[in-house]
Amino acid sequence: MRVRYRVDGNLQDALKIPKKNQNAVLARLKIMSGMSITESRIPQDGRFKIRIHKKEVDFRVSALPTSFGTKIVLRALDKSNLSIGLSTLGFSEYSLKKFKEAIAMPFGMILVTGPTGSGKSTTLYSVVNQLNNPDKNIMTIEDPVEYQVEGITQMQANPDIGLTFANGLRSILRQSPDIIMIGEIRDTETADIAIKASLTGQLVLSTLHTNDAATAINRLVDMGVEPFLIASSVILVAAQRLCRVICKNCKGKGGDCKMCYSTGYRGRRAVLEVLSVDDKMREIIIEKASTDDIKSYAISQGMKTLREDAMEKYKQGVTTMEEVLRITSEE
């Protein structure tokens, strides 16, 4: 039985467990996660908490039946990463300024885009955490709920019983929310309700799967949302990636470094492309401009592309040129 750790996005072998101990290990993990130990034919999901070094860490667990037993994936969710707020996520000065301006708005929509595992949820949770105080009614609908945060109302979408993002969102709007976080905008119905909510006095935060910030605007158009609604509601779109940080202990040399498992990297930083929607941008969106036109105007107003932001981190000695090219290969 093989155990691997994914450290800073890369999988590496950690240890082997004898086959005879397989069932005992699987049963223990299933019991801890609140799963059925008698069921091994269908996938299951669960979660558990443990204290490590006086810190509470949440684990999200997924069990998948395979030919020779079960594959279990544990995702460690460290809530202490969220309490630090936006300032310590490694944003550039420009990105941070634009984010702070956007979350100070009383209503509108903020979108974070990027592939799976690019840190979108952590960024949104950090925003939510920064806004989390008793005079704000903050509600989320997610699938699944990633981090459990005190003081906010979190709801798990469950399409199997008809609780889709769209249906859940309709119910949330009857609860007088100030800020709504939607795990992901996957369909036209969710996009439509989310945008209308952001026009009627709520600050709406969500994610989309697009490669860059400008494409997100036209993705909403493709979903059937009217351009004038997008122009009126969206206040900021950020495209995000994560770049690995050069290990401070071995200065990226690797060798026999225990701190970075000889990889030369330790930790990750957010690389961002932040598109801010001003009056001229609204006109461009209403005119159904191409993604290139939207991007060109945003750059003329000071937007740094993903590659430029990554290059900035390379020049500062934070990361390597290999990482810059790896995470911005589509540019």
Q: Is the pLDDT of residue 195 over 90?
A: yes
Look at residue 331 in the predicted model and tell me its pLDDT: 63
Q: Is the pLDDT of residue 84 over 90?
A: no
**Least confident interval from 98-112, 184-198, 252-266:** 252-266
- Mean predicted confidence (pLDDT) in 266-293: 94
Q: Is the pLDDT of residue 68 over 90?
A: no
- Mean predicted confidence (pLDDT) in 263-284: 94
Look at residue 147 in the predicted model and tell me its pLDDT: 85
Look at residue 34 in the predicted model and tell me its pLDDT: 96
Look at residue 83 in the predicted model and tell me its pLDDT: 61
Share of the chain above pLDDT 90, in %: 79
- Mean predicted confidence (pLDDT) in 266-281: 94
- Mean predicted confidence (pLDDT) in 104-124: 93
- Mean predicted confidence (pLDDT) in 174-185: 95
pLDDT band at 148 (very low <50, low <70, confident <90, very high): confident
- Mean predicted confidence (pLDDT) in 165-184: 95
pTM of the model: 0.89
pLDDT band at 214 (very low <50, low <70, confident <90, very high): very high
pLDDT band at 56 (very low <50, low <70, confident <90, very high): confident
- Mean predicted confidence (pLDDT) in 209-216: 94
Share of the chain above pLDDT 70, in %: 98
Residue 151 vs residue 91, higher pLDDT: 151
Q: Is the pLDDT of residue 47 over 90?
A: yes
Reduce the secondary structure of the chain to three states and give it as a string.
Answer: CEEEEEECCEEEEEEECCHHHHHHHHHHHHHHCCCCCCCCCCCEEEEEEEEECCEEEEEEEEEEEECCEEEEEEEEECHHHCCCCHHHCCCCHHHHHHHHHHHCCCCEEEEEECCCCCCHHHHHHHHHHHHCCCCCCEEEEECCCCCCCCCCEEEECEHHHCECHHHHHHHHHCCCCCEEEECCCCCHHHHHHHHHHHHCCCEEEEEECCCCHHHHHHHHHHCCCCHHHHHHHEEEEEEEEEEEEECCCCCCCCCCCCCCCCCCEEEEEEEEEEEECCHHHHHHHHCCCCHHHHHHHHHHCCCCCHHHHHHHHHHCCCCCHHHHHHHCCCC
